[in-house]
Amino acid sequence: MLSELIIPFPKESISFEMIEDNINLNLDHCLMARKDGYTFIVDDDRCYGCGACIALCPVNVLTLETKLAIVDEKNCTHCRLCIPSCPVFALDIKPEI
């Protein structure tokens, strides 16, 4: 019974250098890493102002105006935390045209 509670050691160890290399390889996917040439889009045909995105925005740049989510694009970090919260898929970050 006691043997069921013992947690085995990992078969290989992970060094700090391995973690650092992985971080450097994944900087393009970093949350809060705004890239030039992209813009936050609210599809006003879909958005009905439920406010789910506002509740998740870590920098409070989303507001509701006449039942439509409005973003302060200049201060948006493009963290993408709000996008999966939208029940009607009205939010996206796309390349500027």
Which tens digit of pLDDT belongs to each residue from 61-88?
999 999 999 999 999 999 999 999 999 9
- In whole angstroms, give the CA distance from residue 23 to residue 19: 6
**Predicted confidence band of residue 29 (pLDDT cuts 50, 70, 90):** very low
* pLDDT above 90 (res 9): no
- For 34-97, CATH gives 3.30.70.20
This prediction has a pTM of 0.64
CB atoms within 10 A of CB 12: 6
**Predicted confidence band of residue 36 (pLDDT cuts 50, 70, 90):** confident
Q: No. of H helices and E strands in the chain?
A: 2, 4
Residue 80 CB partners (closer than 8 Å, separation 6+): 31, 93
**Predicted confidence band of residue 13 (pLDDT cuts 50, 70, 90):** low
**pLDDT attached to residue 38:** 93
